[in-house]
A and B are shown apart, each in its own frame.
Chain A
């Protein structure tokens, strides 16, 4: 039974590998958005 469950966990991990690059780009985008948003210099140049 544990072998079955281990196999299922492996399946989920493999599925994650497919999505991982997209999530990493999204994480980068959100973190940059957060940083830029709070950057006063950037606010000035935006205006």
Chain B
């Protein structure tokens, strides 16, 4: 088991790296014209919404412990997005940098070493396996989508 300070340091470092990695890889895949055949809008919309919510919670005025919980939640969603995006990238034929795999491995190891009271945040993979049979690929012309606020 890792000691408390080391866990928190690792969580903070990983969150920052994951934020860059998720942004980069997600936008690389979505900006590819073939992404609509491979990105499951149902799962990806949920993951992105949850990721945004976890970051919004982090910015709100919470206690330090709750912030750490929120960061773990953020890591959880980020890893899930990275794994999903990696699968899509492989199907589309895009090469993503190898450091993404290192980040996924690092997060997986961190989750395994988390103290028990923080482990309950790790639930995405199980949830995703349940929804895997209900994929809704986007497959719609981009001009049909309005992004106006």
Contact = CB atoms under 8 A, between A and B. Distances in A.
Interface of A: 1-2, 5-6, 8-9, 11-13, 15-16, 19-20, 22-34, 36-38, 42, 46
Interface stretch (B19-27, B89-97, B99-107, B116-124): B19-27
A12 B140 contact: no
B80 to A, nearest CB: 14
Contacts, number: 88
B59 A29 contact: no
Contact of A32 (B26, B64, B137, B145): B145
State the main secondary structure of chain B at its contact with A. helix
Leading 5 A-B pairs by shortest Cβ distance: A30-B45, A33-B138, A33-B41, A34-B41, A8-B12
Contacts of B30: 26, 29
Given A28-B147, A29-B145, 9 more contacts: A9-B12, A9-B58, A26-B30, A27-B52, A30-B41, A31-B49, A32-B145, A33-B41, A46-B140
